[in-house]
Amino acid sequence: MSRLDPPLPPCVIHEDDHLLVVDKPPGWNTHAPAPHAGEGIYDWLRHREPRWAPLAIVHRLDKETSGILVFGKTPTANRSLTEQFARRQAHKRYVCATDRPVSREAFVVRNRLERVGDRYTAVRSGDLGDLAETRFRVVRREGGLTWLEAEPVTGRTHQIRVHASGEGLPLLGDVLYGGTPSARLHLHAARLQLRHPETGAEVTFEAEAEFQSPASRQLREGFIDPVETTAHRAVHGASDASPGRYVERLGDWALVLAEDPSGFPVSDLLLPGVKGVYGKRWTRQVCALAAEEASPRLLTGEEAPERFEIVENGVRFELSLREGYSYGLFLDQRDNRRRLLRGHVAEGFAVHREGDVHPEVLNCFAYTCAFSVCAALGGARTTSLDLSRKYLDWGRRNFVLNGLDPAGHDFIYGDVFDWLKRLAKKPRRFSFVVLDPPTFSRSREHGDFRAESDYAELVGLALPLLAPDGVLLASTNAARLRPEDFIDNVRGAVQRSGRQVVQERFQPQPPDFPMSREEPGYLKTLWMRVS
C-alpha cells in the first residue's frame, strides 16, 4: 500500500458503498461544537478522503461516550437511516456501569427531558420537554460495580445518563450527573442493529467496550495507525486530565514536557513499547531558557541514539533528542502534512489543479523540511527556505530517508523576508506556498517578527510568488491570536494585494491535541486558493 493510499483509520470497522461505521473513542465529539473548535470525528473523516465527502450524521454519541456510530454515504442511505432512527426501527444496546447498589434486575425509565445549562433533567409535570424511554437490565456484578445493558427506545441527548442518575444509579465517571469520578465515563454503545439501506437485509455492528486503559490512549488508538504513524502527542495537558503536562510519543521513546518533568511517577509515563522516557522543561517563554535548560534529559529507561527515525503517515523522518529545544518535527502539523502529501485538503478542495503535472512548492521557515518532503513525495518540486544551514542539512537527510534525491530540489539558506523579496524580482512563481513561521523570531536583516502583529505583512510578501489559482497554507501557533483575527489578517492581506480568495478551509489542531475550556486551542491553519 502506497503513502498516497493509506489504510483505513483504526476506528473504522465497516465501509461499503452506502455506510461508514466507526467505533468512536471516548473524548471525541461527534461533530465540531463550534466553527473554530477541534474537529469532531465526523468532520475529521468527512474531509479526510474524497469518497467520504458525502458523509451525513444520522445519530450522535456524547463526547465522553464510546462505541458504534454509523454515517450515511449516499442519499439512499441517509433517507433509510433517518427513517429507521425516527421510527425506532434501529436497535441500540449500550454497556454501562455504576458503583451504587442496584436492587432490581430489570427496570424501565420513561419521562420527559429538558435542558438546563450543561445538563438535562427530567420534567416534573406537564407536557414540556422531549419524551424519553430507556430499558435497563443487570448483566453482572463484580468488583463493587454493577454492569448494565441499556436500551434507549428513544434517542435523546444524555438520555441514559439522566435516567440512570434519576434512579439513584449515576454512571461511574459521570460527574456531571453525580457519578463517582473515574478515568472515563463508563458508557459504551456496544451494538447497533438496522436494515441495510440498499438490500434491506438486517445487519448488526458490534464493538467491545474498553474501560481499563486511559481515555486519552483510547482516543489516539482510534485514529492513529501504529504502523503508519509512530509519533504523536500522547497526553495533552488539561484536555487529558493532566494540567501542565504534555507527553509526546516519538517512536521507541517518550518525551515529557512540564515545568518539572521529573515530578511525575515513572509508572505514569511508560507507554506500551517505550524504551526510554525523556523530560524537558516546558514554558511559554522558550527564549527565557538557556540551551542546557531547554534540552531533554533522560528520566528512565534506555538512552536514545543521537539520531533515530519515526514514521508519520508512512513518511520517514529523522529526530534527535540532543538538539536543544526542538527535536526535528512539529507533531501538531501532522494532518496538514498528510493533506499536502495526498493532495487533498477537504471536500472539493484539491491541493493542485488538474493538469499541474510538475507543481512548484515554496516552503518558508522550512526547519527540517517536513512539508517539503511530503510535497516532493506527492510529485512536486520543492524550494525550502530557512535561516539555519543545520536544519536544511537535516532536511536533506529527510529527503534521502524517503528515497528522494535532494539534488532535484532547492534548499535556500537565509532570511525569509529578504528572500521573498529577492525571489519576487526574478520572478519565481509557485503553485503552493507554505507559511508556518515561529510565533516570534529575530533576524539581523528584518528585525523582530511577531505573529500577532506581523502575519499580514508576511502574507503580503509571499503573495507575489503565488501563481494564479495557487494555494497558500498560512499557519500559526500564536495562542494569543484569536482564530477570527488570524483569518481577518490573512484575508485582508489577500484583498490588499488585489487578489481574491477562491477556496478557503480553516483547520484547527489535530485530535491528539484536543481542545477544551481548560486547554484552549492554539494552532490555526488557513488553506486558501487565491486567484
Q: Which of 5, 16, 23, 62 is catalytic?
A: 62
Cβ neighbours of residue 160 closer than 8 Å, sequence gap 6 or more: 94, 96, 134, 150, 152, 171, 187
Residue 369 CA to residue 400 CA, distance in Å, equals 12
Query: Is 260 marked active-site?
Result: no
**CB-count exposure of residue 99 (10 Å: 0-12, 13-18, 19+):** middle
Q: Is 465 exposed, middle or buried (0-12, 13-18, 19+ CB in 10 A)?
A: buried
Q: Does the CA dihedral 284-286-277-335 come out positive or negative?
A: positive
SS3 265: coil
CA–CA distance from 416 to each of 171, 228, 362, 389, 441 (Å)?
55, 33, 11, 13, 11
Give DSSP secondary structure letters for 358-379.
S-EEEEET-TTTHHHHHHHHTT
In terms of DSSP bridges, do strands 19-24 and 12-15 run parallel, antiparallel, or are they unpaired?
Answer: antiparallel
Q: Hey, what's the cell of 92?
A: 441500540
- Rounded distance between C-alpha atoms, residue 142 and residue 140, angstroms: 7
Tell me the three cell numbers of residue 232.
504523536
The DSSP call for residue 179 is P
Residue 363's DSSP bridge partners are 384, 434
Nearest to 209 by CA among 227, 193, 186, 192: 186
Strands 440-443 vs 381-386: parallel, antiparallel or unpaired: unpaired
> DSSP for 68-111?
EEEEE-SHHHHHHHHHHHHTT-SEEEEEEEESS----SEEEEEE
Q: Which of 194, 4, 7 is nearest to 86 (CA)?
A: 194
- CB neighbours (10 Å) of residue 33? 11
CA distances from 223 to 227, 355, 511 (A): 12, 33, 8
Decide: 319 and 308 in contact? Cβ < 8 Å: yes
State the catalytic residues. Answer: 62
